[in-house]
A = this chain, B = another copy of it.
Amino acid sequence: MSFNTFGRVLRFSTWGESHGPALGAVVDGCPPGLTLREKDIQPFLDARRPGQSRYTTQRKEADQVRILSGVFEERTTGTPIHLMIENTDQRSKDYSEIARSYRPGHADYAYDAKYGHRDYRGGGRSSARETAARVAAGAVARAIIPEVTIHAYVCELGGDAIEREAIDYDQITRNPFFCPDSWAAKRWEEKVEKARKDGSSLGAVVECVALGVPAGWGAPVYAKLDADLASAMMSINAVKGVEIGDGFEAARLTGEQNADAMSPGPDGKPVFASNHAGGTAGGISTGQPVVCRVAFKPTSSILTPVPSINSDGDAVDVMTKGRHDPCVGIRGAPVVAAMMALVLADHKMLHRAQVA
């Protein structure tokens, strides 16, 4: 039983609170001999890092990762890799006035109901700051699956979806929204800016596509690739829905419409006519792109006062000042990519364990 650990063969555990001195991830089970340097991890953290555009929280964190173990002479040794990131811009005072009030949509009340005692500074352990540790761990996972390319991008923001035909992976890093459709990115600028100015917030949908996953990763029943992806994604802060392939839309198709026909390919492997399934069948990869979609609710921290209660059970109105993302889904994209990498690397190793 593990509360803060994820994975089967490649397992990582994260620790740390939003306003503690540091946070980190211990990655266990990584194969030996892989090249891994801080500079291989840092770019992923930089992509997720706050404070880089006006569309994300203004908290300034360097998010510099340090490798404290498990790597010797720039190569992994097979022992636990500890990745640590120091917090540098906590500003606890921003949060002190709501120490006792339960912010609607946040974990405040639930944590108190469970534990009785919580670190309320910036949400403590329930803060999305924890996802920095995942992104660092995800960089280790990527070293395990060089055959896989992962694209994660916002495909819908505040109800405004991208055009499927306009998807250009090269665009993803060229706008502050991880948006593969440059026209949509333009539209979203205004949308997010308005929400930010209004002290409001927006939801988003992140899509993630993994190319190069061979057939045979995954496992039946409770270790299905789909199930592990669902768990991985739903564990991200603010996520409320996960789809594999066509997802809910598949429930509206007939069997004929939903069938992914196969024909013989050049190397004995099938060529698929479509990918409604999102790259898995029976929980195991088919060699098609693995596709999942993740729904992020709008940031719960808003300037509009919302009725709530405090820890004494009294009525209060809560408005959340401080520094927040007007749309948490945006910075969710690198986190979704990291979780995809972690699940796939884990299943590559699991496959090797059972079927090498």
Contacts and interface: CB of A to CB of B under 8 A. Distances in A.
Nearest to A256: B304
Contacts of A218: 110, 114
Contact of A251 (B8, B203, B276): B203
Interface in A113-149: 113-119, 121, 124-126, 130
Contacts of A26: 4, 13, 15, 26
Interface of A is mostly: mixed
A291 B22 CA distance: 35
Interface string A279-307: 01111111100000001111111101011
A77 B315 contact: no
Nearest to A274: B104
A80 to B, nearest CB: 4
Interface string A159-174: 1000000000000000
A344 B245 CA distance: 28
Size category of the binding interface on chain A: 35 or more
Interface in A242-294: 242-248, 250-265, 268-270, 273, 276-278, 280-287
Copies in the complex: 4
A79 B224 CA distance: 13
- The residue among A114, A244, A301 with the most chain B CB atoms within 10 A of its own CB is A114
B270 A110 contact: no
Given A113-B287, A230-B231, A246-B297, 18 more contacts: A3-B220, A4-B79, A4-B221, A109-B262, A110-B285, A116-B355, A158-B252, A204-B251, A228-B231, A230-B242, A234-B244, A240-B277, A241-B248, A251-B329, A263-B309, A264-B309, A268-B313, A277-B297
A264 B315 CA distance: 6
